[in-house]
Amino acid sequence: MSEPVKVKRPRGKARVIAGKCIACGARCQSVCPINGVEMSEQGEPVIETAKCIGCVKCVKACPAGALEMFYTPEELAIIASFEKHGGEEIDEEELERRSRVAAYKGVWVFVEQNDGEAAKVSWELTGVGRELADTLGVPLSAVIIGSGVDHLADTAFSYCADQAYMINDSVFRQYRTEPFLAAMCHLIEKHKPQVVLMGATGMGRDLAGAVATRVKTGLTADCTGLGIDAKGNLMQTRPAFGGNIMATIMCDRFRPQMATVRPHVMPMPQQRQGATGITIPESCPIPESSIFTRVLEVITDKGGKDKVDVAGAEFIVSGGRGLMAKENFALLEELAEELGGVVGGSRSAVDAGWLPQDRQVGQTGKTVRPKIYIACGISGAIQHLVGMQDSDVIVAINRDREAPIFEVATFGIVGDLFEVVPALTAGVREMKQLRS
């Protein structure tokens, strides 16, 4: 009798798929257990095939799908014979991790407020949080931390929240990182939410970055899309590489899954007056003497007559590189004035010094959703599109028929903006005269 020959499943070797690498920062090299990946000057991997043990770690780590396994024809034949046998191997560590993750339940929205007045982005978040909570079959909670903020619970209920965790204490009268960080971490540790959403505002970003570090979990900034995958994990989509491409980010092994969303990115939900919910009073006693940060003064920046609120405007006429010079923005000002709107611009226009920074629309500027957005001489880099793609109507005016801006436009005019824009201004003016 001979011993049965045990055939091992072939592991294959990793290789790079030409042209797909995005130089993400050497994730493949970082995970390779045998130091078999070198990085080129361009930041792309060079795999030492002789060293490769076929562990597939680099393939899994690659965000761009730029690595694959390959097998010899003989190996492929052996694999085919293995096909029927499958099944996931789960070790104890993995089991423990899964049960730890499963202990976190519920979707939370941090309600940002200033002197008891909530930032609108908080309710945009309860709107999207409602959808996530319904998909998961868990409650949606508002987290309200402040002084004199009791009334915000009812507002939260009217904007879809089931319940509100309330910390009402004078130490939280003004936002400071230390006490808010302590309170937020206290609540997270006590109640274990699976998702925590915050506005990507000055305050939200200050707090979210601190909280995620203290509770040692992942945080995804400036999400433009949030959804739940088949396993119940949060899919967080955001612009990446300076807004040149979109990426979906997962935080499936850690809890809570934390994300920030910029104002105006999510639609404002319908308010249901009189809706009720459960207020859960909480406390996190922090003596004022233990805090070493003091807000000495708050200066409200009402701005002069030049101050323009691009983010809140109903009509925006925006200019890009195609405007050629600062003085040409007068053309856009005229059209904007006729429409009762404001002038915005792309990053190129702001970088060229044609517009102040607070007029910039896009990934590093403002996110807008006006009734009509008129893009003049803007080619439409993704970093610009993510800032305006949710406008009700988008009009693109550009000489270049191939410009990506036409891909998001409701209506496009292929033509010279120096001819089309004045014609639009004259047309609107005429319509108004006919009316009166």
Q: Per CB under 8 A, which of residues 99..138 are in contact with another protein?
A: none
| Site for another protein contains 332 (CB under 8 A) | no
| Site for another protein contains 220 (CB under 8 A) | yes
For another protein, the closer of residues 219 and 342 by Cβ is 219
Of positions 132, 336, 382, 403, contacts another protein by CB under 8 A? 382
Q: With contacts defined by CB under 8 A, how many residues of the chain interact with another protein?
A: 111
Type of residue found at 167: I
Here the tokens at position 420 are 């089309």
| Site for another protein contains 94 (CB under 8 A) | no
Mode of pairing for the β-strands spanning 342-345 and 315-319: parallel
Of positions 74, 91, 93, 297, contacts another protein by CB under 8 A? 297
Here the tokens at position 174 are 């003004």
- Report the SS3 class of residue 232: coil
Footprint on residues 392-421 left by another protein (CB under 8 A) = 392-397, 399, 401, 406-416, 419-420
For another protein, the closer of residues 158 and 363 by Cβ is 363
Beta carbons within 8 Å of 72's beta carbon, 6+ residues apart: 10
CB distance 127 to 159 below 8 Å: yes
Type of residue found at 138: V
For residues 392 and 247, give the distance between their C-alpha atoms in angstroms, rounded to a whole number: 24
Count CB-CB contacts under 10 A for residue 233. 19
| Site for another protein contains 242 (CB under 8 A) | yes
Query: Which sign, positive or negative, has the C-alpha torsion 119, 124, 127, 129?
Result: negative
For another protein, the closer of residues 153 and 381 by Cβ is 381
Footprint on residues 49-68 left by another protein (CB under 8 A) = 61, 63-65
- Nearest distance, CB of residue 151 and another protein, angstroms: 22
Residues pairing with 219 in the sheet:
258
For residues 160 and 157, give the distance between their C-alpha atoms in angstroms, rounded to a whole number: 5
For another protein, the closer of residues 134 and 351 by Cβ is 351
Footprint on residues 336-355 left by another protein (CB under 8 A) = 339, 347, 351
Burial (CB count within 10 angstroms: exposed 0-12, middle 13-18, buried 19+), residue 401: exposed
Here the tokens at position 357 are 């920074």
Beta carbons within 8 Å of 167's beta carbon, 6+ residues apart: 144, 145, 146, 183, 187, 282, 283, 284
For another protein, the closer of residues 22 and 280 by Cβ is 22
| Site for another protein contains 181 (CB under 8 A) | yes
| Site for another protein contains 230 (CB under 8 A) | no
For another protein, the closer of residues 154 and 358 by Cβ is 358
- Nearest distance, CB of residue 198 and another protein, angstroms: 12
For another protein, the closer of residues 160 and 182 by Cβ is 182
Beta carbons within 8 Å of 196's beta carbon, 6+ residues apart: 108, 109, 110, 188, 211, 256, 257, 258, 259
- Nearest distance, CB of residue 233 and another protein, angstroms: 9
- Nearest distance, CB of residue 74 and another protein, angstroms: 32
For another protein, the closer of residues 100 and 272 by Cβ is 100
For residues 201 and 121, give the distance between their C-alpha atoms in angstroms, rounded to a whole number: 9
For another protein, the closer of residues 166 and 350 by Cβ is 350
For residues 234 and 214, give the distance between their C-alpha atoms in angstroms, rounded to a whole number: 20
* Window contacting another protein (CB under 8 A); options: 74-82, 132-140, 278-286, 379-387: 379-387
Of positions 6, 85, 216, 305, contacts another protein by CB under 8 A? 216
Of positions 81, 213, 276, 283, contacts another protein by CB under 8 A? 213
User: What does the longest C-alpha to C-alpha distance in the chain come to?
Assistant: 105
- Nearest distance, CB of residue 335 and another protein, angstroms: 10
Q: How does 8-43 read in b/e, with b if 16+ C-beta sit within 10 Å? A: eebebbbbbeeeebbebebbbbebbeeebbeeeeee
Of positions 67, 107, 128, 249, contacts another protein by CB under 8 A? 249
Footprint on residues 17-46 left by another protein (CB under 8 A) = 19-20, 22-31, 35, 39, 41-43
Of positions 154, 206, 333, 337, contacts another protein by CB under 8 A? 206
Of positions 80, 103, 230, 295, contacts another protein by CB under 8 A? 295
CB distance 331 to 353 below 8 Å: no
| Site for another protein contains 98 (CB under 8 A) | no
For another protein, the closer of residues 174 and 279 by Cβ is 174
